[in-house]
Structure 1
């Protein structure tokens, strides 16, 4: 079963092992977003993040893995990407 998530969606970020950190400027909170729990087909572009504590608007920082391509970490990451794409394919097959 093959599924290629669309660029610009949470599924794409999760499948390609990005990390998203949300920053709340008013109260200086930092939260790592769990991309696995986000709807895979929902777009993150122009998303406005709101702090659950102070309800102020925050910002998000997207960060890919910065491992060198020939490192053992990059090889493990490629295996993880393949696994995540399979998980997304199963989720999308179940979703109505």
Structure 2
């Protein structure tokens, strides 16, 4: 049986291997959001992001990070967050 998880904060997303990708409708910019640079205890559901290029409001999508392939740099950052401090 699978363990139930609760995704409420940016830290939870990192801990359980999720990714947020942002896209800007006005200018079409698309980029992954670096969750390790955001406050771990901040809720992500109501978070708002602005485009670095045009300042437009950014929409986000939530997805699980691929567990295969060469994602070593990102997985190293995830490991840092997963370790108890």
The verdict on a shared fold, with TM-score over 0.5 as the criterion, is yes
Aligned pairs, number:
71
Larger-gyration structure (1/2) = 1
**Structure 1 counterpart of 2:21:** 21
Question: Normalised by the size of structure 2, how large is the TM-score?
Answer: 0.71
Segments of 5+ residues of structure 2 without an aligned counterpart are 1-5, 69-74
Segments of 5+ residues of structure 1 without an aligned counterpart are 1-5, 68-72, 74-79, 91-96
Query: C-alpha displacement at 1:23, in angstroms?
Result: 0.5
Separation of aligned partners in 2, 1:7 and 1:32: 18
Question: Normalised by the size of structure 1, how large is the TM-score?
Answer: 0.63
**Structure 1 counterpart of 2:51:** 51
**Structure 1 counterpart of 2:60:** 60
Structure holding more helix per residue: 1
Separation of aligned partners in 2, 1:19 and 1:65: 6
Q: Please give the root-mean-square deviation of Cα atoms over the aligned residues, in Å.
A: 2.1
**Structure 1 counterpart of 2:40:** 40
Separation of aligned partners in 2, 1:23 and 1:43: 20
